């Protein structure tokens, strides 16, 4: 029988009303003939009683070992899974809860940021064969030593994708509190529209550049296994956004779409280092070597013979600046910056996209502190105070607030005008 994996996020499980919707989606797919595996996150958001952050704050100890920290971090999903199991049982639907370890999810031993190494499918397949809905606690697995490990932020998405891949599921449905993958974060852009279909590469770029609607690792896993993902709302029956590889557009649809969306990441500091005339090679090796040795993650890197520019998270800025001072190089820093990304698998080779970006931001009086591009994204660094305006300006400029065909024309116009 075809297997379907359904993942429900925190807000989808937070209230009685939301859980009724969850129940409805599970029962519908079961009645449609699927063997259903349900992956759950902890109920609610930061501040809610059974949310992961709340549980993590319970042990009043700075010295709690990482192993025990993961143990309590994993409890939110257990609570959510058992609550959902109770609701299914009340409806007469046979259901069972498996923790990550019980579901055969094996990870390495890195507490707090474990990686799934293997999934033994027998425990899940056996229950599915019995006609049981299998509820798996997301965000966790079991280390080689038999300890509970957690997968880090967005880990339940990864659990769902990895189970989908291991079980050869027909599809993985990620249910959340928005109508799918939108052309921008609806919290910044009221006009953002849900996309009907995107490629793995496009959503992977959007997700890595800050669109937190689905975790990039989950997209990577699904792409490698070739399993389609659907991002959709718990609160409606709309099918949301389908994420697949090539061939995702039906005949007659318009695959010619340079830009799919705008993503943003706030909270970065730009560091500019000048080497002066002496020994640029030596200094650049020392700058990047020092950052690496101190575990400071760097991004948005440009190296020239006279210096280099890169960004670090605001949280690492003081440390990075201290290290540059110790190296004795001339540097300057701009804190509270944001990376705004224009993403689209169809922009490669299309002339005028950069010109349209520059013009849209110049019209708004927004200075571009730095820019870079790849085949499917162009990133600009702006001050955080300008971030929301920059996202809105680019969203409008590429016609993303209009239906697909109109957006395509707008985006062509944007390029032609510039
Ligand atoms: P869940 O708890 O269901 O995993 P998340 O909070 O992780 O939900 O992800 C959903 C949120 O992602 C939305 O509420 C929305 O604010 C945010 N988001 C950011 N960028 C986008 C985008 N491009 N499309 C859709 N949602 C986005
Ligand atoms: Mg999420």
User: Domain spans of the chain?
Assistant: 3-177, 261-417
pLDDT at 54 over 70: yes
- CB distance 155 to ligand 1 below 6 Å: no
pLDDT at 278 over 70: no
In this structure, which residue's CA is closest to atom 17 in ligand 1? 213
Is there a binding annotation on residue 267? Answer: no
Q: What is the CATH number of domain 3-177?
A: 3.40.1160.10
Contacts of 176 (CB under 8 A, 6+ apart): 9, 11, 12, 213, 231, 232, 233, 234
SS3 labels along 136-179? EECCEEECCCCCEEECCCCHHHHHHHHHHHHCCCCEEEEEECCC
Is there a binding annotation on residue 252? Answer: no
Beta strands across the sheet bearing 140-142: 116-119, 105-107, 140-142, 148-150
Residue whose CB lies within 8 A of the most ligand 1 atoms, among 11, 176, 182, 187, for a mutation test = 176
pLDDT at 229 over 60: yes
Q: Quick check: 133 and 5 in contact, CB under 8 A? A: no
Confidence of residue 279 (pLDDT cuts 50, 70, 90): low
- CB distance 173 to ligand 1 below 6 Å: no
pLDDT at 415 over 70: no
- CB distance 187 to ligand 1 below 6 Å: yes
Mean of all residue pLDDT scores within the chain: 93
Instruction: Give the per-residue pLDDT at 52.
Output: 95
Is there a binding annotation on residue 177? Answer: yes
Give the 3-state secondary structure of residue 373: strand
pLDDT digits (tens, 9 = 90+) for 176-216: 999 999 999 999 999 999 999 999 999 999 999 999 899 99
Give the CATH class of 261-417.
Answer: alpha beta
Q: Which residue shows structure tokens 């989606």? A: 25
Instruction: Give the per-residue pLDDT at 408.
Output: 60
**Alpha carbon distance 203, 186 (integer Å):** 16
Confidence of residue 283 (pLDDT cuts 50, 70, 90): confident
* CA atoms within 13 A of residue 148's CA, in its CB half-sphere: 20
């Amino acid at each position: 029988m075809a297997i379907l994996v359904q993942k429900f996020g925190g807000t989808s499980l937070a209230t009685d009303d939301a859980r009724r919707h969850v129940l409805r989606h599970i029962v519908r797919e079961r009645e449609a003939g699927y063997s259903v595996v349900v992956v759950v996150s902890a109920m609610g958001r930061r501040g809610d009683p059974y949310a992961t952050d709340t549980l993590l704050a319970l042990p009043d100890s700075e010295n709690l070992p990482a192993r025990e920290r993961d143990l309590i971090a994993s409890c939110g999903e257990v609570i959510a899974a058992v609550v959902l199991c109770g609701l299914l049982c009340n409806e007469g639907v046979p259901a069972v809860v498996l923790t990550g370890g019980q579901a055969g999810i094996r990870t390495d031993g890195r507490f707090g940021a474990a990686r799934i190494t293997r999934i033994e499918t027998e425990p899940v397949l056996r229950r599915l064969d019995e006609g049981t809905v299998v509820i798996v606690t997301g965000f966790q697995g079991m280390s080689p030593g038999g300890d509970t490990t957690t997968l880090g932020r967005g880990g339940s998405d990864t659990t769902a994708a990895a189970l989908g891949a291991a079980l050869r599921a027909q599809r993985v449905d990620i249910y959340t509190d928005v109508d799918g993958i939108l052309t921008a974060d609806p919290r910044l852009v009221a006009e953002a529209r849900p996309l009907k279909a995107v490629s793995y590469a496009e959503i992977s770029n959007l997700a890595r550049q800050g669109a937190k609607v689905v975790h990039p690792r989950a997209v990577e896993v699904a792409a490698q296994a070739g399993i389609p993902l659907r991002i959709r709302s718990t609160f409606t029956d709309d099918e949301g956004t389908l994420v697949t590889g090539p061939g995702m557009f039906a005949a007659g649809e318009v695959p010619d779409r340079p830009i799919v969306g705008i993503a943003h990441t706030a909270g970065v500091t730009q560091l500019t280092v000048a080497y002066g005339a002496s020994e640029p090679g030596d200094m650049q090796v020392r700058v990047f070597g020092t950052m690496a040795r101190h575990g400071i993650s760097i991004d948005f890197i440009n190296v020239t013979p006279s210096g280099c520019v890169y960004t670090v998270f605001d949280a690492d800025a003081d440390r990075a600046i201290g290290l540059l001072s110790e190296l004795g190089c001339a540097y300057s820093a701009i804190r509270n910056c944001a990376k705004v990304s224009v993403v689209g698998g169809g922009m490669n080779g299309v002339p005028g996209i950069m010109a349209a970006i520059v013009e849209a931001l110049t019209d708004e009086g927004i200075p571009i502190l730095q820019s870079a591009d790849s085949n499917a994204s162009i990133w600009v660094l702006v001050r955080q105070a300008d971030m929301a305006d920059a996202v809105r300006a680019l969203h409008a400029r590429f016609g993303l607030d209009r239906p697909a065909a109109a957006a395509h024309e707008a985006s062509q116009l944007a390029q032609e005008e510039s």
